[in-house]
Homo-oligomer: A and B are copies of this chain.
């Protein structure tokens, strides 16, 4: 054992105990009714409201320390809670309670010639580890989604939000107690020691089934690189809007402006605009004017720059960049194949949209691209669990295994086969 390992051992043992308790709670949750889970969620929402003063006091301490440590304004905004945000958190938990139960759904059923009846039912995954950053409301969102889907959860928030997250966590546990559910179903790593994240990524002695990172590229990249258990993550949303030569001008203008500027910081915001050369002047120019008028910086290829002098020259790096800001890259393409090639080369398989009145071109675009979400004549900002009608989401998956696109309560389940016979044996 190295010195480094020796130093970690007590933490490792402590967290394994926590993992074993979560696994045992997960076992109990498999036999819990939808009503009991919903009662716990409603009680948790009530407890969040009742403890609003505690939560805000804890958050004030976090904020004071964060300011002393010189955290930036964006980070401070993510960390800050007020009464409105606490109320939104409680309401969010109630909305999760109101969703249809994702567990025990019959997904398929068939009968074999030998009389065996086979059915596939949704079941909880087990124990889910959530690793997140400064936003303390993730504590409530993530725990609610996990509990609704019958999973135990182990939460690890950012060190700067420890006190806020801890106060929210206490309220959530009161919900479990009130509904007579195992209190270990919601766990929080009781230390800010960064080694704890490493131990979670190793699976806490086989007790964690799935890790979901929520945060920036740095966090998600580290989790994907180091995890020894399955990970459900999205790394980047480099979303494209392609104005095809048969695009309707008004649709193109409305969609591009909305896809880029409605909210620039979400993963479904458009980052690159592809304009068909045939409509560069007729459609590209007014669309770029709209963007500029809305305060968007445009980084463009030479053809666009020649036509639209206020654009800045783009470098190849721009095609690979998720700005999450009022900046868009714009490129001329010589048709559908060129657009598809660009997206496959530089995209992140999140969400892409085509604007066109040509059905055949749309079909080709929708099928040829390997992205989680492909859209025809709609804004990429609809890439969202709520907008899909799936309820609250824990994120948008860009991996290809298990879940892609919005990850809501259904995506936090797995399934099992139940086979019923009357004594059949295999010949």
Contact across chains for B116 and A382 when beta carbons are under 8 A apart: yes
Contact across chains for B416 and A118 when beta carbons are under 8 A apart: no
Q: Which residue of B lies closest to A415 (CB)?
A: B404
Most B C-beta atoms less than 10 A away, residue of A125, A375, A404, A416: A416
Interface residue count on the A side (C-beta < 8 Å):
65
List the one stretch of A36-44, A281-289, A364-372 in contact with chain B: A364-372
Among candidates B125, B250, B370, residue contacting A27 with C-beta atoms closer than 8 Å: B370
Q: Which residue of B lies closest to A123 (CB)?
A: B370
Report whether over half of chain A's contact residues are helix, strand or loop; otherwise say mixed: mixed
Q: Provide the residues of chain B in CB contact with A375, threshold 8 Å.
A: 418-421
Among candidates B259, B262, B373, residue contacting A417 with C-beta atoms closer than 8 Å: B373
List the one stretch of A3-11, A131-139, A164-172, A395-403 in contact with chain B: A395-403
Contact across chains for A374 and B426 when beta carbons are under 8 A apart: no
Is A248 among interface residues, defined by CB-CB distance under 8 A?
A: yes
Among candidates B30, B368, B399, residue contacting A230 with C-beta atoms closer than 8 Å: B399
Among candidates B27, B126, B399, residue contacting A400 with C-beta atoms closer than 8 Å: B126
Among candidates B209, B250, B400, B420, residue contacting A377 with C-beta atoms closer than 8 Å: B420
Question: Which residues A238-288 have CB closer than 8 A to chain B?
Answer: 248, 250-251, 254-255, 257-259, 262
State the Cβ distance, A376 to closest chain B Cβ, in Å: 5
Q: Provide the residues of chain B in CB contact with A374, threshold 8 Å.
A: 416-419
A66 to B289, CA, bound (A): 72
Q: Which residue of B lies closest to A251 (CB)?
A: B423
Contact across chains for A112 and B421 when beta carbons are under 8 A apart: no
Contact across chains for A426 and B118 when beta carbons are under 8 A apart: no
A389 to B117, CA, bound (A): 11
A248 to B232, CA, bound (A): 45
Q: Which residue of B lies closest to A340 (CB)?
A: B27
**Given A116-B378, A366-B418, A377-B420, A402–B405 Cβ distance below 8 Å?**
no
State the Cβ distance, A137 to closest chain B Cβ, in Å: 21
State the Cβ distance, A399 to closest chain B Cβ, in Å: 7
Contact across chains for B377 and A118 when beta carbons are under 8 A apart: no
A425 to B261, CA, bound (A): 11
Interface 0/1 of A99-124, CB less than 8 Å to B: 00000000000101000101000010
Q: Provide the residues of chain B in CB contact with A402, threshold 8 Å.
A: 401-402
Q: Which residue of B lies closest to A382 (CB)?
A: B426
Contact across chains for B344 and A112 when beta carbons are under 8 A apart: no
Question: Which residues A169-213 have CB closer than 8 A to chain B?
Answer: 209-210
**Given A230-B230, A374-B418, A425–B389 Cβ distance below 8 Å?**
no
Q: Provide the residues of chain B in CB contact with A420, threshold 8 Å.
A: 362, 375-378
A408 to B422, CA, bound (A): 26
**Given A344-B27, A387-B112, A402-B401, A254–B370 Cβ distance below 8 Å?**
no
Contact across chains for B372 and A426 when beta carbons are under 8 A apart: no
Is A84 among interface residues, defined by CB-CB distance under 8 A?
A: no
**Given A230-B399, A262-B425, A426-B262, A419–B31 Cβ distance below 8 Å?**
no
Contact across chains for A419 and B378 when beta carbons are under 8 A apart: yes
**Given A416-B373, A418-B374, A210–B423 Cβ distance below 8 Å?**
no
A-B contacts, 22 of them at CB < 8 A, read A30-B368, A31-B368, A118-B388, A125-B400, A125-B401, A126-B370, A126-B400, A210-B401, A230-B399, A248-B423, A251-B422, A254-B425, A255-B425, A258-B425, A258-B426, A362-B420, A376-B421, A379-B426, A382-B419, A382-B426, A401-B414, A405-B417
Cβ-closest 4 pairs across A and B: A378-B421, A258-B425, A251-B423, A402-B402
Contacts A27-B370, A375-B421, A382-B424 given; 17 further ones with Cβ under 8 A?
A30-B370, A112-B387, A126-B400, A232-B401, A372-B416, A374-B416, A375-B420, A376-B418, A376-B420, A377-B423, A378-B423, A378-B424, A379-B425, A382-B419, A382-B421, A401-B402, A404-B417
